[in-house]
Structure 1
Amino acid sequence: MNSDIRTARRFDTGEVVDVRFAGGAITEISPHSDRSGDAAEAPDVKSGLPWISPGWIDLQVNGYAGFDFNADPITVRDVLGVTEQMNRYGVTAYLPTVITGSYERMKQAVGLIGQVCDEQESATASIVGIHVEGPYLSREDGPRGAHPREHVREPDYGEWQRLQEASGNRIRMITIAPEREGMAGFVKRLAEEGIIVCIGHTAADPHELDAAVAAGAVLSTHLGNGSHPTLARHPNYIWHQLGEDRLWASFIPDGHHLAPAVLKSMIRAKRDRFVLVTDCVALGGMPPGTYRSLVGGEVEVHANGRLSTAHNPNILAGSGVTMPECVANAVRMAGLTLREAVEAVTVRPATVLGRPDLGRLVPGAAADLTLFHTHADGSLTVAETIVKGKTAFKRQYEG
């Protein structure tokens, strides 16, 4: 079997290594040696060698660059377009996110994603499940966020089963609001099926939150967002989830969803039980202006990249951030090391997904690899994205 090799600096140790892979899996990782057989010295900044890490994982992707998982209807072009954009920005595994809508729209979306995964290799390689955000969320302004009020509803296990069947059993994650009637029992049934149940877009009280966690909820979706603009100082549902050690939390480090000091404080509270997500939407990467979108209705794309509902600039309508920006912002805003920030988009989301083959730079793991450069201004650029041993993106440099 033919093998391939990349020489780069490990993201976690800085060691220059040769990473060999074949058949879609990593076969060997060894210290790099020059032709004379002597171990190469660690390169200086001018060496040009990229960093190498496990492929980055994003648990929440609504769309990007005009491609939309919440269009009505979504198309094959949307699925392949988002996948290509994710690969371009270093993401090798992600969950398309379908938000609250009518049953018919949600069924069409999850069904089409499943169909494309059956038929298209690039989608199969990168899509590791579907995240359904809703429709069983809060009806209140603020916690509901940009989810359409007319379509949020009480949990319906029969509806859930039909959506899962339409997806080809690809729905892996769901975000719910614990205060909806009968939710504890609903969470328990889904957790027993192996579904990752997340808490989000909620105004639940402590008892309701505790009941959801006891029933099997494991993660807080974009904690600190999807909430009332004004909250009681304490207790409140953000503090309660932040202090619940059984819950993981996802954060959107775009500088808009959470102020830098808030992001730093929340990350410190969660310690090693947090992941970074983009929560990017179809309007991400688009020029400033007002657009019509299912996520938020009339949405304003601001010059600084912030996305808000046009009628209320305090209500965010998803994000336009990319994963390299997430990693760089986590280092710059929250004081994380590069290793910690990369682990929050590799091994930690892989752990949440229950996928030991992903997110790890070890022999036997999937040959999902992200090679990237860091720059003096703190930014990151992706040099190459390898998915299951095949180059999905490679940056072309002039000269």
Structure 2
Amino acid sequence: MAGVLAVPALVRGDRVLTPDRELVDGWVVVEQDRIVEVGGGAAPAGLAGGPRHAVLAPGFVDVHNHGGGGAAFGDGPEAAIVARDAHLRKGTTTVVASLVTESIEVLTEQVRALRPLVEAGELGGIHLEGPWLSERWCGAHPPALLVDPATADVEALAAAAGDALVMVTLAPERDGALEATRLLVSCGVRVAVGHTDATFDQTRAAVEAGASVATHLYNGERPLHHREPGPTLALLTDERVWVETIADGVHQHPAVVRDTARRAGGRWVLVSDAMAAALADDGRYLLGRLDVQVLDGVARLVGEDGGPGSIAGSTLSMDRAVRTAVAAGVPLLQAVHAATAAPAAAMGWSDVGRLEAGRVADLVGLDDELHVQGVMRAGGWVAG
């Protein structure tokens, strides 16, 4: 979708968000697939002129995404590229392919199919959201497929995925969860706590074992209570934990989005948790094995009576997540940080998420209302 720029080029922004700081009348110099210089005010002379945007930011990094454009990452490599491209056009230059709960055999096939795309740089990695989750807080995961994390299964999936596996969400109260956490962390995989009925102490034990991410905090977990605070408080207040939020106007009240951003600070991470209907039409879809009805952009499981059930992911894109967070009262610089630098840091990636010399030239240009005007991935402009 993009061709690398052949000569050094200048991209300008009225506001350039690096995202640690804002440069007024800023600019970025791109050569081949890399950023070579970033500054504000007078730009270097003699460079090929590029577009000017109201806001220029790093390309978005989405570490929890099940699909989009009518396709799901679990449906194979061709579908994965369709989903990736749909989000790429909305500014997500790095996306992690999230897989919903399936049998170990099916998940093994799915990660083997996606692994070459990660190794080729088309995807940022693979995230397993299940099958080691709580039946009580399963959300859009089939309860019958939820199991304890047996060491043999964990090892088999890790071996099938290799370095492509970057994150696993599990419920720390399940038998064997702490052992699985230590094993996965030893393999370089981030462990996230989510879809869980864990107590405060069980959650703290998971963090001590190496868990470092809160999967969509507040959603799909035991709620906060003053006598048993459960996972929410344990994750939100621990400086070792990166805290995900789905800012789509459905999963959380704006006041909760604003408060989570304030309390998590630089650890706050915006994710889409998008499913196939993201950036596509309303209608009937599958999320894994489950039927989903999307109406007015809200995805819900189809209940046994045919009516709406649990929220089933979202139809969110990362540009809309940033707009929703800003509308909730989050400062723009923090919202952009949560969509770029924070998720990259959560995964341990040094090449993406910031506008700095030496990093990959992934950029997104936004207008005054934060709608996408242009996207650059690895030094090439993406076709709209």
TM-score (normalizing by structure 2): 0.89
Q: 1:27 aligns with which of 26, 36, 55?
A: 36
**For residue 326 of structure 2, what is the amino acid of its counterpart?**
V
Partner Cα separation in structure 2 for residue 207 and residue 36 of structure 1: 59
The 5 Å alignment of 1:158-237 reads 158-227=152-221, 232-237=225-230
Deviation per residue, 1:307-355 (Å, 9 max, x gap):
111226452100001111100010111x111111101111111111111
Quote the offset at 1:126 in angstroms: 4.3
Name the residue aligned to 2:108.
107
2:379 corresponds to 1:389 = yes
CA contact 2:277–2:285 (8 Å) conserved in 1: no
Quote the offset at 1:117 in angstroms: 4.0
The list of structure 1 runs, each at least 4 consecutive aligned residues, that deviate by more than 6 angstroms after superposition, is: 34-37
**For residue 65 of structure 2, what is the amino acid of its counterpart?**
V
2:294 corresponds to 1:301 = yes
Name the residue aligned to 2:85.
84
- Return closer, same or farther for 1:180/1:231 CA change in 2, 3 Å cut-off: same
- Return closer, same or farther for 1:369/1:126 CA change in 2, 3 Å cut-off: farther
SS at match of 1:271: helix
TM-score (normalizing by structure 1): 0.86
Partner Cα separation in structure 2 for residue 328 and residue 246 of structure 1: 27
Q: 1:68 aligns with which of 72, 77, 82?
A: 72
Deviation per residue, 1:65-106 (Å, 9 max, x gap):
211123xxx233211101111210101111000111012221
Q: How many residues align?
A: 367
Identity of aligned residues (%): 30
Name the residue aligned to 1:268.
262
- Return closer, same or farther for 1:371/1:96 CA change in 2, 3 Å cut-off: same
Most deviating of 275-284 and 24-33: 24-33
Quote the offset at 1:295 in angstroms: 4.3
2:5 corresponds to 1:4 = no
**For residue 8 of structure 1, what is the amino acid of its counterpart?**
G
Quote the offset at 1:232 in angstroms: 4.3
Q: 1:351 aligns with which of 345, 361, 364?
A: 345
SS at match of 2:113: helix
Partner Cα separation in structure 1 for residue 282 and residue 184 of structure 2: 40
Name the residue aligned to 1:310.
302
- Return closer, same or farther for 1:231/1:350 CA change in 2, 3 Å cut-off: closer
Name the residue aligned to 1:41.
none
SS at match of 1:130: strand
Quote the offset at 1:235 in angstroms: 2.2
Name the residue aligned to 2:125.
129
Q: 1:322 aligns with which of 317, 321, 324?
A: 317
Most deviating of 359-368 and 10-19: 10-19
Quote the offset at 1:161 in angstroms: 2.5
Partner Cα separation in structure 1 for residue 242 and residue 139 of structure 2: 21
CA contact 2:363–2:375 (8 Å) conserved in 1: yes
Name the residue aligned to 2:245.
251
SS at match of 2:175: coil
- Return closer, same or farther for 1:36/1:58 CA change in 2, 3 Å cut-off: closer
Deviation per residue, 1:233-259 (Å, 9 max, x gap):
542322332233332210000011111
Quote the offset at 1:207 in angstroms: 2.2
Identify, as 1 or 2, the structure richer in strand: 2
SS at match of 2:27: strand
CA contact 2:101–2:288 (8 Å) conserved in 1: no
**For residue 323 of structure 1, what is the amino acid of its counterpart?**
M
Deviation per residue, 1:131-165 (Å, 9 max, x gap):
1111111122xx11111112111112322222233
- Return closer, same or farther for 1:263/1:314 CA change in 2, 3 Å cut-off: farther
**For residue 13 of structure 2, what is the amino acid of its counterpart?**
A
Partner Cα separation in structure 2 for residue 62 and residue 136 of structure 1: 17
Query: Unmatched 5+ residue regions in structure 2?
Result: 1-5
SS at match of 1:374: coil
CA contact 2:275–2:287 (8 Å) conserved in 1: no
Quote the offset at 1:34 in angstroms: 7.8
**For residue 113 of structure 2, what is the amino acid of its counterpart?**
L
Partner Cα separation in structure 2 for residue 343 and residue 257 of structure 1: 21
Quote the offset at 1:48 in angstroms: 6.6
**For residue 49 of structure 1, what is the amino acid of its counterpart?**
H
Partner Cα separation in structure 1 for residue 58 and residue 158 of structure 2: 29
